[in-house]
């Protein structure tokens, strides 16, 4: 049974091939082993919170996919053997994020609708913070 996972991949930014090549390589590895619905989110080069292997920055890539648990062992093995990978982490997620193509006719998601309502309440000028300020004056 396939479950949803996310791979966080930090690739050495000093390597000539870069994060694009690594992302394509691992995306191919996932599809080879039967993973489906692979989505790649590239963040590019970012500064690390602390130095890792004498590196101060890395190429960040996140992949969400559905795969059998047996696929994870091969993915983990490949990441450990790859010298350009500084750090990697595979976590199980509840479900894959939906894409715009899957949503179809829905123009606005429920989360966005709630955010809009909250934003409109803040602009009233009659919040509890402002009432307290008026009482003090």
What confidence score (pLDDT) does residue 97 get?
76
Residue pair 74/7 in contact by the 8 Å Cβ criterion: no
Model-level pTM? 0.67
CA-wise closest residue to 10 among 53, 74, 68: 53
| Percent of the chain at pLDDT exceeding 90 | 45
Homologous superfamily of the 3-92 domain (CATH): Ribosomal protein S6/Translation elongation factor EF1B (3.30.70.60)
| Domains in the chain: boundaries | 3-92, 103-136
Of residues 7 and 18, the one with the higher pLDDT is: 7
- Note the pLDDT tens digit of each residue in 77-113: 999 999 999 999 999 998 877 765 555 544 444 444 4
Average pLDDT, the chain: 78
Q: How far is CA 74 from CA 32, 34, 35, 71, in A?
A: 11, 12, 12, 6
- Note the pLDDT tens digit of each residue in 28-63: 999 999 888 889 999 989 999 999 989 999 999 999
**Run of H or E including 88:** strand 85-92
What is the rounded distance in angstroms from the CA atom of residue 107 to the CA atom of residue 55? 43
């Amino acid at each position: 049974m396939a479950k949803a996972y996310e791979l966080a991949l930090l690739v050495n930014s000093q390597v000539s091939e870069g994060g694009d090549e690594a992302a394509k390589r691992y995306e191919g590895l996932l599809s080879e082993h039967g993973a489906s619905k692979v989505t790649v989110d590239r963040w590019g080069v970012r500064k690390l919170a602390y130095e890792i292997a004498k590196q101060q920055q890395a190429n960040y890539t996140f992949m969400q996919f559905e795969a059998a648990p047996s696929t994870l062992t091969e993915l983990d093995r490949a990441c450990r053997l790859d010298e350009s990978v500084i750090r990697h982490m595979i976590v199980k997620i509840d479900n894959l994020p939906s894409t715009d193509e899957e949503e179809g006719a829905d123009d606005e998601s429920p989360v966005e609708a709630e955010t809009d309502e909250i934003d409109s309440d803040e602009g009233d000028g009659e919040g509890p913070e402002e009432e307290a300020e008026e009482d003090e004056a």
